[in-house]
Every structure is written in structure tokens, then in C-alpha cells.
């Protein structure tokens, strides 16, 4: 929430508006006085890394009465406030819409009561409302992710990873209860991200006889989760109304397992916000201000949200209505419809979970061998993708083969079967368990084709970074000479650099981004209590500036130097002078990020020396090269979930493609669309032929020619107080959600 508050304040001030804080939510609006006070640029400094909300939040009974709303309207009119930005859940946003609907009537009553003048009422004749959804439950329909959800998942996964080690050590089964009210999103995504054996969510209660099914599955020491809504039919809950106690009794009594329960509680609401939430909050804050400034009396109250990586505006009450429809569907037992109403993201998560966790492998084998390999530098999430691909392949009846050490391993016959159990626990493992190398296949084609034939490989899943993309292209090119290469192939982008064409996101980039962001937080905190200090931090990414840019937005950087945006000595001078002026105010910290290959001459040392020299007497400098810590660590919930969906989807696509390519008793695939890259494009996972992506590739610098995130770079500069023009060419029009309600 603080990222959203910070962005709203700073972009509001940037546009020339007066911006006010309303402390303690609607209660502050009703009480007025010191609760509504002007916000300044400096008042939102050093708050990105703080959890909760610095302006406070409170449930307010007074605002539910007309009298309370009259007081609130009076306080706003006296200050000339006609635009209200509300960050909260569906209750807060519904209240805001009611306030807006009644606004004219409230002003008339206030004029009659002599509380405000007719002139004051005329100046404030219309109230614009924009909402941002802040809720860890992710229960608001129309948005993929609400502010706070990703951070809550981080807290849950930290606990789950810790519990998994004790579960293995003591051979115990663990039952976890997570928050979510009447929405199973947290439980569902956690189940996908940790490979839980069972999940209970209110949108889809288990079928009759689920107790026996669950007991059959729990032949190992395992873990399963429940959302804290009505996650299973009430008739199954015995004398104790707490669901997890019923599960505890079932597992202990029926199987004799040593079983423990953990209720995570409010730990899920606290802590430092994740990089994703900070960027989401910042982008939503910018979009909210734009929506308010563009609003007319006829514009319906809107909510700004995220769909894929696109900021969208949706009519507030349509979203509220669909959210209520979900509750009604669940109450009436229309559970399939409830899943659909939750939105595409929720439905995809549920379908992936069902496929990976609830279907037994078929008795009849397909006689298809699918090989999986990792290529390029290791990154967090690779193992989760391998696990999902292996298990989905086994479910489809295929035999799965693991190729160790990339194309090198394929050339030297390092190929072996990989089973369902051999990938257990892989979702939370960092690095690459299969082993990975940067070697490209061009000089090994003879050996590779020989081993494809020797091991009877019918399809290939290639998980990796730019080398995986280029290597797959080389295999496709070799089809003219080697018939063995005429098999379906799919590339899954996995690299911290996020530099693979055809996908807006790569597996591993979110984990690296969180590592950089949390490190920048610590670096800035290290100077607490000292004199003014500027930190120069070098990030990875090759020639791709994604990590430097997004970490700059998440950590509140003053500048981020990247290869894609050329800069010269004059730009450096402007940046230094800007920071010198800034440091003369109450601001005491500066953060400069530099992508490792942004410029061959303006090195990290040179930039450090420049800032040190020019800042003499105002601030001192420190530099940090983060290095390979950005490639390590356990994957974030986003990377685990993303990798799981990508791995599963890739094998389903290969299965369909193998059917198409089966001719005269053998597999023969030489069409362009038989070798594809699976990527996230705006709002959907799409398969794109590798050859078609060549036009959008800068092979010399190993980056795509078009990169979506470059358009949000100005946000970072505006939030750092640069007077630049904000690009609004990609205008966000109001969309609708009502028509999506019925399948």
C-alpha cells in the first residue's frame, strides 16, 4: 500500500495538483481536522520497504451512516478536494462509490444546514473516485493480482519451506491453514508453489468420498493446505468448527500418521513488501492519478488493476457485482461457475493444479519419449518447470528423459529416465538440478542427432535463457541435414536477465529482482543515522536493463543506467546535479543502479568516482557489485507458479503437436510451428514459432528489439523528482467485466 501512496502523492504533485493524506481511512475522512493534511514530496520518502500503510487504515461505522458521510463531504468541500483515491478491499470501494453517488444530495443537505456555502458547493459539484485494490486475499474480480497478495505469498512460502524440512526430518504430515476469507487464491497458489498433496478451497469443495481418496494419496510424508473460508462442505465438519482439526483427526485416525497443524494467521499480512507489490503499487498509483485527471462527471467510478502486465481500468461496480456473483455461485453450489468468475488467472491455476496433483497416470502408455534439458546460466525456478513438465508428461502417458548438462550432455549421451518421485520437492529448489551449460549445439550436431536416435527422443523441452533460444534455432536449422532433428521442440524462457524474445517475463527474473530489491533496502538502511550518502549498485542482466529498471522502481532509485537508453556525460552531469539539490533537503539517501553492460566506458568505478567528486561537501558515496547472488536463492512464489504453469503447458502443447506430426508410423515435424517458444505476451501464455522471433532479436547484444518495460521507465524518473514528460501514448480505456461472467 505504501508504494501506491508514494506514487499517488508524487505523480499528483508532478501534475500540479494539491495532494492530501487522509489518515485512518474513512474514520479520518469523517473526523477531519489533523487527519486530513497536505502531503509533500519528502513525506513519502523511505517508505517503499515498509509493510502495512503509514497513513493508517481503520474500519469505520460512522461512514456507513448518512450523517457520517455528510461530515466527510463537509471536510472535503472545505479543503476543495474533489478527487478521492481509495486503496482497500471491495467493502471500502463499494463505500466510496456510494459516497460518490450521494455526493450532490450530501452537498444540498450541507448547504441547507449552513455547513457550507452555495459557492463552495458549486466549486465541488462533482466527486471523482478511483480505486486501487489492496487485499492479500486477491478476492476482487477483474484484476489478476491485488496489492499485497504477492507479499502474503512470500510470507506463506517462507513458512512452508521451513516446515518442509522438519516434515522430512521427522517423517510427519503437515496441515497448513492460510488466510483468504472466501477466496482460495492464497491456498491454491501456495499448493502449486510448494507441490502440496492436497488443497481445500471454497470455490471447489472435494467430491463425495474424498476422505478415502486423500488417505490413498498420503502414503508418503506430505503436506496439504486449506483456505480459511468454507473450504469443504459443512456437513463434513464434526463437532469442531475449525476445518484443520477435522483433517488432523482424519489423517491421524485413519492412517496413523504423525500429523501436525499450523495456522499461519496474521504473519501473512505483515513484513516487507515484495518487489512485485512495490512495482504494482507504483504503477497503479500512476494510473489512478491519470484516471482522476481524465475523469468527467459522466465517467463511472473506476478501479485500476492489472491484467497480465497491462494496467487496465475497470468500472468499479461491475467488479463488485462479479465479486458478489462468485459468493452467490458458491452458496448455490455452482462451483464450476465460481471458478470461471474468479477470472482466467485463477482458472488456469486451478486447472494446472488439478492436472498435476489429482490425476493418476494412465494404464496405457503413449510410447512417446520426451527429453528435458536446461541451457545457459542457472536460475531459480528451472527445477519447478522441470518438475511440472515431467509430471505432466507422465500423466499424458509419455516416458520422460532427463538430459544432464545441456547440449553438451545430449551430445555425450548423458540421458536417463526421470520419474514422478525423482522430481519431488523440486519446486522450492534454486539453481538447476539437471545441470546446465552455455554450450551451443552448432558444433555438436552429429553427436546430438545420433543420441536423439539412440534414445528414441520424440520431443524436446528446452528450459533456459538466450542460449536456449539460439540453440533451439540451430537445431531447427539443422533439420535440413539431420532428419533426427525433425521433432517438436518447445523453449521455456528461464533467465534472470529477462532477455529472451517472445516473452514479457522469464522464469528466474522475479527471484533476482527480489534479491536486488532486498539488498538495496539493506544497503540504504546501513547508512541510517549517518550523514547523507549515495550508493552506486551494479546489477546483472547482460545488455538487458530489465533488472536495473525494475529494481530501480521497486527500491526507489534516483537513476538506473541501462544499455537500451543511451546516455552521455551531460546526462551524468544532470543526474549528479539533481542528486546534489535533492540532498540539500531532508532526503538523506541516494540510490543509483547500473546495468553491468550499459556502457563500456562509463563503468561502475567511473560513475562512483564522478558522484564522489561532485558530491563533496554534500554527500559521500559507496559502491556495490551484487554479482552472482542474483542467480541464487530459492525461487519466489511468482517464479514457482509461473514455471509450473509453463512446464505443464509446454508438454500439453507437445502432446498435441506429436499427434499432428505422426505419419506412417513415425514422428516427422519440419513445419515452422513445430518448434516454438512459450512466452507470456501481455495477458496470455502463447506459443510462437522460433523462426518468426528472429526479426525481433538483436543477436549481437542478446536482447529483444522491443521490450515492454521501457515504457514504464519514465515512472521511475518522475518518482525520483525529474521534470520529464510522462508517455501516455498507450492510453488505458475503460474495459468491462460483466460480459465475462458467463462461460
Backbone phi and psi for residue 432, each to the nearest 5 degrees, phi listed first: -130, 110
Biggest CA pair distance of the chain: 91
Residues 643 and 388: beta-carbon distance below 8 Å? yes
Output helix, strand, coil percentages for the chain, rounded to the nearest 5: 45, 15, 35
The position carrying cell 502443447 is: 653
Mapped onto helix, strand or coil, the DSSP state of residue 689 is: strand
Backbone phi and psi for residue 249, each to the nearest 5 degrees, phi listed first: -60, -45
Half-sphere exposure of 729 (CA within 13 A, CB side): 5
State the cell numbers at 566: 543511451
Mapped onto helix, strand or coil, the DSSP state of residue 676 is: strand
Alpha carbon distance 145, 192 (integer Å): 16
Q: Which string of DSSP letters, residue by residue, matches 11-38? A: HHHHTT---EEETTHHHHHHH-GGGEEE
**DSSP letter at 622?**
E
Residues 259 and 251: beta-carbon distance below 8 Å? yes
Residue 730, CA distances (Å) to 287, 391, 717 in order: 11, 40, 18
Alpha carbon distance 692, 472 (integer Å): 13
State the cell numbers at 266: 496474521
Alpha carbon distance 467, 219 (integer Å): 41
Alpha carbon distance 76, 191 (integer Å): 45
Alpha carbon distance 491, 696 (integer Å): 16
Where would I find the H helices in 264-405?
A: 275-294, 316-331, 335-341, 344-357, 382-395
Out of 109, 137, 197, 408, which one is annotated catalytic? 137
Q: In the sheet that 128-133 helps form, which strands lie side by side, from edge to edge? A: 83-88, 128-133, 302-307, 310-315
137 labelled catalytic: yes
SS (H, E, C) 519-580: HHHHHHHCCCCCCCEEEEEEECCCCCCHHHHHHHHHHCCCEEECCCCCCCHHHHHHHHHHHH
Alpha carbon distance 423, 420 (integer Å): 6
Alpha carbon distance 315, 301 (integer Å): 6
Half-sphere exposure of 306 (CA within 13 A, CB side): 22
The position carrying cell 528489439 is: 705
Alpha carbon distance 51, 274 (integer Å): 10
Alpha carbon distance 281, 146 (integer Å): 9
Active-site residues: which are they?
137
Amino acid at each position: 500500500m505504501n508504494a501506491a501512496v508514494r506514487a499517488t502523492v508524487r505523480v499528483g504533485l508532478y501534475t500540479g495538483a494539491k495532494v492530501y493524506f487522509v489518515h485512518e481511512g474513512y474514520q479520518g475522512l469523517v473526523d477531519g481536522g489533523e487527519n486530513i493534511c497536505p502531503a509533500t514530496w519528502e513525506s513519502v520518502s523511505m517508505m517503499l520497504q515498509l509493510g502495512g500503510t503509514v497513513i493508517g487504515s481503520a474500519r469505520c461505522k460512522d461512514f456507513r451512516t448518512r450523517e457520517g458521510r455528510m461530515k466527510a463531504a463537509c471536510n472535503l468541500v472545505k479543503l476543495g478536494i474533489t478527487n478521492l483515491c481509495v486503496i482497500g478491499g471491495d467493502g471500502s470501494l463499494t463505500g466510496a462509490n456510494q459516497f460518490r453517488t450521494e455526493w450532490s444530495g450530501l452537498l444540498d443537505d450541507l448547504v441547507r444546514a449552513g455547513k457550507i456555502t452555495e459557492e463552495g458547493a458549486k466549486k465541488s459539484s462533482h466527486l471523482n473516485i478511483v480505486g486501487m485494490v489492496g487485499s492479500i486475499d486477491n478476492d476482487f474480480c477483474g484484476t489478476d493480482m491485488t496489492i499485497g497478495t504477492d507479499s502474503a505469498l512470500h510470507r506463506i512460502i517462507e513458512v512452508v519451506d521451513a516446515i518442509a524440512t522438519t516434515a522430512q526430518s521427522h517423517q510427519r504430515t503437515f496441515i497448513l491453514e492460510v488466510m483468504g476469507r472466501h477466496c482460495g487464491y492464497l491456498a491454491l497458489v501456495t499448493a502449486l508453489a510448494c507441490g502440496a498433496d492436497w488443497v481445500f478451497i471454497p470455490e471447489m469443495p472435494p467430491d463425495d468420498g474424498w476422505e478415502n481418496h486423500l488417505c490413498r494419496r498420503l502414503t508418503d510424508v506430505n503436506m496439504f493446505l486449506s483456505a480459511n473460508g468454507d473450504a469443504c462442505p459443512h456437513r463434513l465438519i464434526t463437532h469442531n468448527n475449525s476445518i484443520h482439526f477435522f483433517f488432523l483427526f482424519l489423517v491421524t485416525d485413519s492412517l496413523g500418521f504423525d500429523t501436525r497443524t499450523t495456522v499461519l494467521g496474521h504473519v501473512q499480512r505483515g513484513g516487507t513488501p515484495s518487489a512485485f507489490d512495490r512495482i504494482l503499487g507504483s504503477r497503479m498509483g500512476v494510473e489512478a492519478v491519470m484516471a482522476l485527471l481524465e475523469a468527467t462527471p459522466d465517467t463511472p467510478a473506476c478501479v485500476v488493476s492489472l491484467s497480465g502486465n497491462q494496467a487496465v481500468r475497470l468500472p468499479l461496480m461491475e467488479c463488485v457485482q462479479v465479486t458478489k456473483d462468485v459468493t452467490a455461485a458458491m452458496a448455490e453450489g455452482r462451483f464450476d461457475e465460481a471458478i470461471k468468475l474468479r477470472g482466467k488467472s485463477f482458472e488456469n491455476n486451478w486447472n494446472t493444479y488439478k492436472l498435476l496433483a489429482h490425476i493418476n497416470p494412465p494404464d496405457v502408455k503413449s510410447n512417446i519419449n520426451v527429453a528435458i534439458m536446461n541451457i545457459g546460466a542457472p536460475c531459480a525456478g528451472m527445477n519447478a518447470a522441470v518438475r511440472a513438465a515431467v509430471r505432466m508428461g507422465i500423466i499424458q502417458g509419455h516416458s520422460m528423459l532427463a538430459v544432464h548438462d545441456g547440449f553438451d550432455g545430449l551430445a555425450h549421451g548423458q540421458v536417463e529416465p526421470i520419474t514422478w518421485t525423482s522430481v519431488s520437492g523440486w519446486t522450492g529448489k534454486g539453481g538447476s538440478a539437471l545441470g546446465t551449460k552455455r554450450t551451443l549445439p552448432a558444433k555438436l550436431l552429429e553427436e546430438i542427432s545420433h543420441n536423439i536416435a539412440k534414445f528414441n527422443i520424440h520431443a524436446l523441452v528446452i528450459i533456459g535463457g538466450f542460449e536456449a533460444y539460439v540453440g533451439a534455432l540451430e537445431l531447427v536449422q539443422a533439420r535440413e541435414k539431420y532428419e533426427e532433428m525433425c521433432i517438436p521442440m518447445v523453449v521455456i524462457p528461464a533467465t534472470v536477465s529477462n532477455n529472451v524474445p517472445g516473452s514479457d517475463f522469464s522464469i528466474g527474473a522475479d527471484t533476482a529482482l527480489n534479491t536486488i530489491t532486498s539488498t538495496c533496502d539493506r544497503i540504504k538502511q546501513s547508512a541510517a543515522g549517518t550523514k547523507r550518502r549515495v550508493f552506486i549498485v551494479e546489477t546483472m542482466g547482460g545488455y538487458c536493463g530489465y533488472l536495473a529498471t525494475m529494481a530501480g522502481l521497486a527500491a526507489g532509485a534516483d537513476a538506473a543506467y541501462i544499455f537500451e537508453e543511451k546516455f552521455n556525460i551531460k546526462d551524468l552531469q544532470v543526474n549528479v546535479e539533481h542528486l546534489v539539490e535533492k540532498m540539500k533537503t531532508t532526503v538523506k539517501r541516494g540510490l543509483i543502479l547500473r546495468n553491468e553492460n550499459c556502457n563500456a566506458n562509463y563503468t561502475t568505478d567511473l560513475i562512483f568516482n564522478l558522484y564522489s567528486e561532485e558530491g563533496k561537501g554534500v554527500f559521500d558515496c559507496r559502491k556495490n557489485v551484487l554479482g552472482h547472488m542474483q542467480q541464487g536463492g530459492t525461487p519466489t512464489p511468482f517464479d514457482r507458479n509461473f514455471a509450473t504453469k509453463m512446464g505443464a503447458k509446454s508438454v500439453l502443447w507437445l502432446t498435441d503437436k506429436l499427434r499432428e506430426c505422426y505419419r506412417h508410423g513415425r514422428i516427422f515435424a519440419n513445419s515452422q510451428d513445430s518448434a516454438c517458444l512459450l512466452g507470456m505476451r501481455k495477458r496470455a501464455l502463447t506459443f510462437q514459432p522460433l523462426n518468426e522471433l528472429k526479426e525481433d532479436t538483436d543477436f549481437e547484444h542478446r536482447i529483444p528489439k522491443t521490450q515492454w518495460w521501457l515504457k514504464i521507465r519514465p515512472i521511475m524518473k518522475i518518482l525520483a523528482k525529474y521534470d520529464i514528460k510522462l508517455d501516455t501514448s498507450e492510453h488505458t480505456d475503460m474495459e468491462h467485466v460483466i460480459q465475462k461472467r458467463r462461460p
